[in-house]
Structure 1
């Protein structure tokens, strides 16, 4: 009946002299017959005008009072884009768009759609983008999307969808972007994406998933962006993300995770951005992101229980540029070397945390472009002297000592802090080691000199030792025998044949009485040889 009325209306326009080419432009609309665009925005229209230029390509009718989509579109078969956002549409009749063989974009956001018939989009073979965002849709009937074989972008977010049928996307083989966020389903069938093998963006945020099971994303290894924010996740199965090797953007914010899912992220080597804000972390452990070598942006803000960033937390992430640790009111400790000094980090956000001090070696401050300490109250001591040489320091004030209380951190100097240049612990350790090595080297040199001198003296004595022989008249010269034994015993003269005479160069001397040399010490050979008590045997 409706179709017949529309045909009669068109015939009336023809016989009354109305032009179907230029068409009739309703009050409050803008019609461009050169660009074939009609825009009727924020008017009182409650139905689709049927007397427009029949060759129009683009129709924009948002912010009106249209409440039903029917066969009126059959007169505009050349349409490529239709915008019906922000109307009062509660029903789409079957095959309403059957004539739109060239339609590429259909926008139905912010209407009152509750139930969709499985023939609502029949005939839209060329459609590439469909948006039903912000409606009241509660179910996706099987077959609803079967004729949308060219579809690339589908937005079903902000509805009341309670289940995802396993085969609802079975013919959407060209789908690139799928937004199912802000609905009411609690699980995703493992085969739901079996035929969407070109999918690059998937948004499942703000649903009650609670758990992502192994195999959930086995068929979409092409995925680049995955949004799982606010899905009540407390954990991830070990292999739940293992197939997503091309993933670059991952959002796990607003969940109940109590630790970084390090093992679950082992295959995401191309990941650039990760959002872990609003979770239940208490500590960031060493090498928390150890496999994420391409990571550039990390957001761990708004975690009310976060207390500490431990040493080496970011030691494998050398491409890291931006780290957001802001609004963690209990975060009071960032340990030295939490961030390696070779990081290319440019922006570090530490605003509204519980920090009262920040060790020089905790962050690569000489590479920073922006350090945000807004809302922090620091104990301004020499430990913060490095801040005076860092890049752009935003916010933060001194809480102690009292003479600096309320002073902006960006305004303090080393003189204000009452300290000069502060050597780092590494420099001090190296200096101590060098000093110890130098002392040992000098001690070794002195010892070598002393030992060398002793060896030379002993050598001289050994050269003299074989000259000890028994005197010709043993009874008369018995003292020579005794003294030769004395010298041998006290000076280590080994290999002597018979004690008796001692030769000094070409001079033969008789060994003096041993009583005169009882106090002679080892090493005093020169004293012995130069002694006036030595008696020449040649005299």
Structure 2
């Protein structure tokens, strides 16, 4: 079984399980040569103590020692000790001796992160058939041979992030039949070969963020039927083609933010019926087709923040009946149709701030019966009709900061706790404006250019 990994700060970890009184003299010499020799850079009194007691099933940590080389026979004599954890991370290793791990066939966790490794021989991990976790992140690897991971059928976690990989050889992951977590983020990948992940039937998390991907071919994610989370943010994608995510029927979270997307083809999200969280923020989207989100019947969070959307087609959100959070902030929306939010009765958070809205259609929020937080700040609104918020019985916070509002009237906000109307051009407030606001606890009125202040403005704010 694969279990989540935890990074230990303990220099010498694991514990004595078995004692073996038949350890050989030659083995002890090896131990003394490296781990029990106070003049050796590999010296560790805790390791030496365990070795002198002939202990089995423990781990060795020789990280953070500024090591530049590992002797080829460093682990000779340890083959009977059932070493299960080895940490050689946070050193200055540029290369590894051939077959250095060959005798460590009980190893479960191998950490080699934060070194200067540029190349790994194809046979480096051949004997580590019981390996569960392999950490190669934060090195300088440019390429990996096709068969580098051959035989690692028990591997659950593979971290290749923060290297300099420019491509992945077709078939490189074919033997990783138990893999659940794969991190290839922060590399220089420009493309993904078709079927590159085809044998990763157990994969749950795939991180590809911060690469240089410009396009996703159809079939790029073939085989990932159990995938739950996919990070493709911080790349250079410009478009998503129809069916690009086909086969990801169990995907729950998809991050596409901070790319260069200017087009989403209708059908690009086909098959993602279990998707819960979709982030497409910080892209270059100008418009969206009416059917682009069709089939996303489980979606609860949709982030379209920081694009250049100037309008939204009526019906674009019709399939998103379970949506709870919608972020449309920092776009260029000028107007919204009256029925744009129809059917979104589960929506709790709506962000429309930092657009160019000058008018809101009466009834635009009528279907938002569960809305808790509404932000319409930083727009160009000059007036609001009395019934704009009439059905928002559950609204807790309303933000109208930095508009050009000259008058206000409210109806239906009996549960409102926070009201921001500062930085507007109100000039005056009508008497009884806050009647019915029996739950209001915080009212922000600064910089509204009030010309006179009469008694009775705050009647009803008990």
Equivalent residue, structure 1, for 2:252: 224
Matches within 5 A, 1:111-122: 111-122=139-150
Equivalent residue, structure 2, for 1:290: 318
Q: Would you say the 8 A contact 1:262–1:290 is kept in 2? A: no
CA distance in structure 1 between the aligned counterparts of 2:232 and 2:135, rounded to whole angstroms: 21
CA distance in structure 1 between the aligned counterparts of 2:392 and 2:149, rounded to whole angstroms: 57
Deviation per residue, 1:317-375 (Å, 9 max, x gap): 1111222233x1533433332222652122223444444555553345541223345x5
Equivalent residue, structure 1, for 2:330: 302
Q: Which has the larger radius of gyration?
A: 1
TM superposition score normalised by structure 1: 0.65
Is 2:76 the partner of 1:63?
no
Equivalent residue, structure 1, for 2:4: none
Deviation per residue, 1:16-60 (Å, 9 max, x gap): 38479x988935897696983444443312345735974332333
CA distance in structure 2 between the aligned counterparts of 1:88 and 1:235, rounded to whole angstroms: 40
CA distance in structure 2 between the aligned counterparts of 1:302 and 1:85, rounded to whole angstroms: 39
Q: Would you say the 8 A contact 1:241–1:265 is kept in 2? A: yes
Q: Tell me: CA distance 1:294–1:17, structure 2 relative to 1, closer, same or farther (3 Å).
A: closer
Is 2:432 the partner of 1:410?
no
Equivalent residue, structure 2, for 1:312: 339
Q: Would you say the 8 A contact 1:28–1:43 is kept in 2? A: no
CA distance in structure 2 between the aligned counterparts of 1:212 and 1:317, rounded to whole angstroms: 26
Q: Would you say the 8 A contact 2:264–2:288 is kept in 1? A: no
CA distance in structure 1 between the aligned counterparts of 2:454 and 2:96, rounded to whole angstroms: 73
CA distance in structure 2 between the aligned counterparts of 1:29 and 1:286, rounded to whole angstroms: 71
Is 2:66 the partner of 1:44?
yes
CA distance in structure 2 between the aligned counterparts of 1:372 and 1:382, rounded to whole angstroms: 13
Equivalent residue, structure 2, for 1:330: 356
Q: Would you say the 8 A contact 2:191–2:213 is kept in 1? A: yes
Equivalent residue, structure 2, for 1:150: 178
- The match for 2:237 among 196, 203, 209 is 209
Higher helix share: 1
Q: Tell me: CA distance 1:13–1:379, structure 2 relative to 1, closer, same or farther (3 Å).
A: farther
Equivalent residue, structure 2, for 1:503: none
- Deviation at 1:409? 4.3
CA distance in structure 2 between the aligned counterparts of 1:249 and 1:85, rounded to whole angstroms: 31
Q: Would you say the 8 A contact 1:272–1:296 is kept in 2? A: yes
The unaligned stretches of length 5 or more in structure 2 are: 1-22, 431-441
Equivalent residue, structure 2, for 1:14: 27
TM superposition score normalised by structure 2: 0.75
How many matched pairs?
406
Matches within 5 A, 1:92-491: 92-303=120-331, 305-326=332-353, 328-340=354-366, 342-355=368-381, 358-359=384-385, 361-363=387-389, 364-373=391-400, 376=402, 379=405, 381-383=407-409, 390-393=416-419, 396-401=422-427, 409-410=443-444
CA distance in structure 2 between the aligned counterparts of 1:83 and 1:384, rounded to whole angstroms: 61
CA distance in structure 1 between the aligned counterparts of 2:443 and 2:313, rounded to whole angstroms: 29
- Deviation at 1:274? 1.1
Q: Tell me: CA distance 1:381–1:221, structure 2 relative to 1, closer, same or farther (3 Å).
A: same
Q: Tell me: CA distance 1:343–1:17, structure 2 relative to 1, closer, same or farther (3 Å).
A: same
Name the SS of the counterpart of 1:393 in structure 2: strand
CA distance in structure 2 between the aligned counterparts of 1:401 and 1:386, rounded to whole angstroms: 24
Name the SS of the counterpart of 2:267 in structure 1: coil
The unaligned stretches of length 5 or more in structure 1 are: 1-9, 423-539
CA distance in structure 1 between the aligned counterparts of 2:386 and 2:46, rounded to whole angstroms: 63
Q: Would you say the 8 A contact 2:86–2:111 is kept in 1? A: yes
Q: Would you say the 8 A contact 1:380–1:417 is kept in 2? A: no
Q: Tell me: CA distance 1:358–1:175, structure 2 relative to 1, closer, same or farther (3 Å).
A: same
**Structure 1 vs Structure 2 CA RMSD:** 3.8
Q: Tell me: CA distance 1:420–1:209, structure 2 relative to 1, closer, same or farther (3 Å).
A: closer
Deviation per residue, 1:64-98 (Å, 9 max, x gap): 21222443222432222222222211111112112
CA distance in structure 2 between the aligned counterparts of 1:261 and 1:30, rounded to whole angstroms: 64
CA distance in structure 1 between the aligned counterparts of 2:62 and 2:348, rounded to whole angstroms: 46
Q: Tell me: CA distance 1:420–1:202, structure 2 relative to 1, closer, same or farther (3 Å).
A: closer
Name the SS of the counterpart of 1:90 in structure 2: coil
CA distance in structure 2 between the aligned counterparts of 1:244 and 1:403, rounded to whole angstroms: 49
Of structures 1 and 2, the one scoring higher in RCO (CA 8 A, sep 6+) is 2
Equivalent residue, structure 2, for 1:26: 42
CA distance in structure 1 between the aligned counterparts of 2:242 and 2:68, rounded to whole angstroms: 49
Q: Would you say the 8 A contact 1:287–1:316 is kept in 2? A: no
